[in-house]
């Protein structure tokens, strides 16, 4: 009788554990999936508060290291109160790069070593399960990394940390063979994000944020290049053949066709080089209020 009683208790414990695990993950499309809920809010250009609750499906079998990183970040509340921005073509949203600090977008990972880089889980990096999800499909989640083809510099392929994209439309910028596709969002969320993009992106007045631009001398306002690399972030935009940069909170015009202008070299680089990773800042901040596992 005692043995049978203990056996029943053991079976009950196993059943509870199995139920708990199945409540957290499930199988679909040939992968174990973990759901994460992202609660997002923004003010549209009509002045109305809009809320989007999006379910992110993380495909653990297809990209185990990447999904483990995202799960860890969500558990540690990393994405809470961070800002979403657009890439310069409007093809995808960027999550996990910026917080708002006194009304300014601040890069939150540039010097943060809390989260070391992870491997790129895609074909060109020798990952066997790559290609199960396409970076060219709207609604796909794609892990972002430092740009570069990785040839001779494998670290470029293994430089992803915390930033990822939600694809809104097909883009050649993030090819499936060299970027990790690790999940999907539901169709309702995709449509809500497209509506948000049409409203805020089209009304962003062309403000372009160039990530690797540089420090400025406080006295002369001239560009300072540190050991050949641009370390801080400044905003530029172009309209009607004129270029502007943000100085002390205001946008001022500069002549980007004049070689002796302080911004000439930078402008030419960020306007033509993919490696400078331009983004567009929406006029109204898009905030991830809370991210949690389901």
Of the CA atoms within 13 Å of residue 94, those in its CB half-sphere come to 23
Q: Quick check: 282 and 85 in contact, CB under 8 A?
A: yes
276: DSSP letter? G
Write the pLDDT tens digit of every residue in 139-185.
999 999 887 655 555 568 998 999 999 999 988 889 999 999 999 99
- Mean pLDDT in runs of 10 for the chain (294 residues)? 50 42 77 97 95 97 96 96 91 92 74 81 84 90 81 73 95 89 96 96 77 52 48 63 73 70 62 60 91 96
- Beta-strand ranges (E) seen in the chain are 25-28, 31-43, 49-59, 82-87, 92-101, 104-107, 140-143, 164-167, 180-185, 207-210, 215-216, 223-224, 234-239, 242-247, 250-254, 279-280, 286-293
Residues 90 and 220 in one domain: no
The reply to whether 7 falls in a domain is no
Write the pLDDT tens digit of every residue in 172-196.
889 999 999 999 999 999 999 999 9
d(CA 96, CA 272): 25
Look at residues 21, 54, 66, 96 and name the one whose alpha carbon lies nearest to residue 188.
54
Q: What pLDDT score does 272 carry?
A: 56
Q: What pLDDT score does 257 carry?
A: 67
Of the CA atoms within 13 Å of residue 154, those in its CB half-sphere come to 7
Q: Which domain holds residue 252?
A: 212-276
The reply to whether 8 falls in a domain is no
d(CA 75, CA 98): 19
The reply to whether 10 falls in a domain is no
Residues 270 and 289 in one domain: no
- Return the exposure string of 220-236: e unless at least 16 CB atoms fall within 10 Å of the residue's CB, then b: eeebeeeeeebeebbbb
Look at residues 169, 118, 170, 113 and name the one whose alpha carbon lies nearest to residue 146.
118
Look at residues 144, 33, 50 and name the one whose alpha carbon lies nearest to residue 93.
144
Looking at the structure of the chain, the number of domains it has is 2
Residues 169 and 46 in one domain: yes
Residues 101 and 226 in one domain: no
Strand partners, 95: 164
């Amino acid at each position: 009788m005692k043995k049978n009683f203990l056996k029943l208790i053991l079976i009950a414990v196993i059943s509870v554990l199995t139920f708990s695990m199945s409540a957290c993950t499930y199988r679909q499309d040939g992968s174990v999936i973990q759901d994460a809920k992202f609660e997002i809010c923004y003010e549209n250009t009509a002045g109305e508060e809009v809320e989007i609750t999006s379910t992110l499906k993380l495909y653990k079998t297809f990209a185990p290291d990447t999904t483990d990183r995202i799960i860890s970040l969500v558990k540690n509340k990393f994405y809470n109160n961070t800002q979403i921005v657009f890439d310069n073509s409007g093809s995808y949203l960027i999550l996990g790069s910026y917080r708002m600090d006194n009304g300014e977008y601040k890069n939150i990972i540039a010097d943060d070593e809390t989260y070391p880089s992870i491997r790129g889980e895609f074909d060109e990096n020798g990952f066997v399960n790559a290609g199960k999800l396409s970076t060219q499909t709207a609604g796909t989640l794609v892990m972002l990394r430092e740009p570069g083809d990785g040839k001779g510099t494998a670290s470029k392929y293994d430089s992803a940390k915390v930033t990822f994209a939600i694809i809104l439309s097909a883009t050649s910028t993030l090819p499936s063979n060299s970027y990790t596709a690790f999940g999907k969002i539901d169709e309702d969320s995709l449509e809500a994000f497209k509506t948000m993009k049409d409203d805020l992106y089209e009304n962003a007045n062309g403000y372009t944020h160039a990530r690797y631009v540089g420090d400025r001398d406080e006295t002369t306002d001239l560009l300072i290049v540190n050991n050949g690399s641009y370390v801080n972030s400044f905003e530029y935009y172009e309209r009607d053949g004129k270029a502007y940069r943000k100085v002390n909170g205001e946008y001022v015009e500069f002549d980007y066709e004049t070689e002796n202008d302080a911004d000439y070299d930078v402008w030419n680089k960020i306007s033509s080089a993919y490696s400078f990773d331009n983004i567009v800042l929406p006029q109204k901040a898009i905030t991830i209020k809370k991210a949690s596992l389901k």
